[in-house]
Amino acid sequence: MNNIELESSFIDMIRKYERVIYKVCSFYVTDEYPMADLYQDVVCNLWKGYPVFRRDSSESTWIYKIALNTCISGLRKTLRKPQKVSVSLLEGVLMEPENMEDNIKEMYRLVYKLKNVERALILLYLEEKSYKEIAEITGLSLSNVATKLKRIKLKLREMSNIKN
């Protein structure tokens, strides 16, 4: 594949999965690490890895893995303490505010209180990825994914009963 074909193929892939990239980034936005920076870092890392992408997994699995790793490692570099992100910052990215029901808003509010890895797992779960796909993306074992998701769901249930 020559450089022009490679670029064209990469641009097509980014267009196809743009919403996925934005959605992953939206879970890690902070004042210090805004959406534009996150998105740019993810696309740069995808570009760096694209020529050697072996296609052992699907494009979407590979994109999720790169996006999550980029966002999590980027936050570790720029923040010592996780910051809370207002749902209002994400309304245009995730869904229209008029269509977002109160319980969904509450769910997103609670998800932002989770640790970075927990957020990544629940995001993939909410995207209806199978446990096998989640394990592939995160590098966790299948049983570890199942255990962590069960604990995260329980944690979210407990947090929703507390009502801050």
The pLDDT value given to residue 31: 81
Instruction: Name every residue whose Cβ is closer than 8 Å to that of residue 9 and which is 6 or more positions away in sequence.
Output: 1
Instruction: Name every residue whose Cβ is closer than 8 Å to that of residue 87 and which is 6 or more positions away in sequence.
Output: 105, 108, 109, 112
Instruction: Kindly report, residue by residue over 17-36, the tens digit of the pLDDT.
Output: 999 999 999 888 888 888 99
Token digits of residue 32: 């210090």
| Mean pLDDT within 137-141 | 89
Length of the chain as a residue count: 164
Q: Give the number of other CB atoms < 10 A from CB of residue 164.
A: 6
User: Would you tell me the crossing angle of helices 3-16 and 35-49 to the nearest 10 degrees?
Assistant: 140
Percent of the chain residues past pLDDT 90, beyond the cut? 42
The count of C-alpha atoms lying within 13 angstroms of the C-alpha of 97, restricted to the half-sphere facing its C-beta, is: 7
64-68, 83-87, 128-132: which has the minimum mean pLDDT?
83-87
d(C-alpha 22, C-alpha 1), whole Å: 28
The pLDDT value given to residue 28: 86
d(C-alpha 3, C-alpha 6), whole Å: 5
Alpha-carbon torsion (123, 62, 93, 29), positive or negative: positive
SS3 per-residue string spanning 70-100: HHHHHHHHHCCCCCCCCHHHCHHHHCCHHHC
Taking all residues of the chain, what is their mean pLDDT, rounded to a whole number?
83
d(C-alpha 127, C-alpha 49), whole Å: 23
Instruction: Kindly report, residue by residue over 72-110, the tens digit of the pLDDT.
Output: 887 666 655 444 545 444 444 444 445 556 777 778 788
